[in-house]
């Protein structure tokens, strides 16, 4: 499970090269190195058709958060590549885009605004995300691979 992230609000015009490089180092390169090390630790032949799981948290925000959003896009492609390339090792690889999760960082106004965008009528909780992670790591989640799953209460559906 990969839930690490670098995120600093900036746009096309005010993102610095240093910030861009740091976002990619944390959000994409670190994930690639973790996945690579994990895959290298697996046996070269598969005993079990579902011997390993990769789950990463992603996001689809980009405007005014450019290096964060684009580096998370790179993470999404890494996750789908891992699903294909590591399948012979029994690895299942997926990403979760959890949408607005209430972890205490939002202002009351932001909570109201985001709740209004959510057909489910509420913000997500850490437990909502943890339950999906647990499913993807379970035997029952073994048929799901190569997906970016939107677990967001329906944000963007309407």
48 falls within a domain: yes
Range from 14-23, 43-52, 94-103, 107-116 carrying the lowest mean pLDDT: 43-52
62 falls within a domain: yes
52 falls within a domain: yes
10 falls within a domain: no
pLDDT on residue 52: 92
Quickly state the pLDDT bin for 44 (edges 50, 70, 90): confident
- Tell me the residue range of the domain where 85 lies: 17-150
Q: Global pTM?
A: 0.91
Q: Is the pLDDT of residue 58 over 90?
A: yes
Nearest to 53 by CA among 158, 115, 135, 130: 135
12 falls within a domain: no
158 falls within a domain: no
135 falls within a domain: yes
For residue 40, what is the domain's CATH number?
Answer: 3.40.50.720
What's the structural domain count of the chain? Answer: 1
Mean pLDDT of the chain: 92
pLDDT on residue 47: 58
Tell me how crowded residue 76 is: count the other CB atoms within 10 A of its CB.
Answer: 18
Distance CA 16, CA 142 (A): 41
Contact assessment for residue 72 and residue 58, using Cβ atoms and an 8 Å cutoff: yes
1 falls within a domain: no
Active site residues: 68
pLDDT tens per residue, range 75-125: 999 999 999 999 999 999 999 999 899 999 899 999 999 999 999 999 999
Q: Is the pLDDT of residue 46 over 80?
A: no
Quickly state the pLDDT bin for 64 (edges 50, 70, 90): confident
């Amino acid at each position: 499970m990969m839930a690490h992230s670098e995120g600093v609000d900036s746009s096309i015009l005010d993102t610095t090269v240093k910030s861009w490089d740091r976002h990619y180092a944390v959000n994409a390169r670190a994930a690639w190195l973790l996945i690579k090390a994990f895959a290298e630790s697996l046996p070269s032949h598969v005993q079990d058709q579902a011997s390993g799981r990769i789950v990463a948290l992603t996001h689809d925000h980009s405007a005014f958060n450019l290096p964060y959003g684009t580096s998370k896009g790179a993470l999404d492609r890494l996750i789908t590549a891992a699903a294909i390339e590591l399948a012979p090792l029994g690895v299942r690889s997926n990403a979760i885009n959890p949408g607005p999760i209430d972890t205490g960082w939002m202002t009351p106004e932001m909570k109201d605004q985001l709740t209004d965008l959510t057909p489910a009528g509420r913000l997500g909780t850490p437990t909502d995300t943890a339950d999906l992670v647990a499913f993807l790591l379970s035997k029952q989640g073994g048929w799901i691979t190569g997906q970016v799953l939107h677990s967001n209460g329906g944000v963007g559906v309407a």
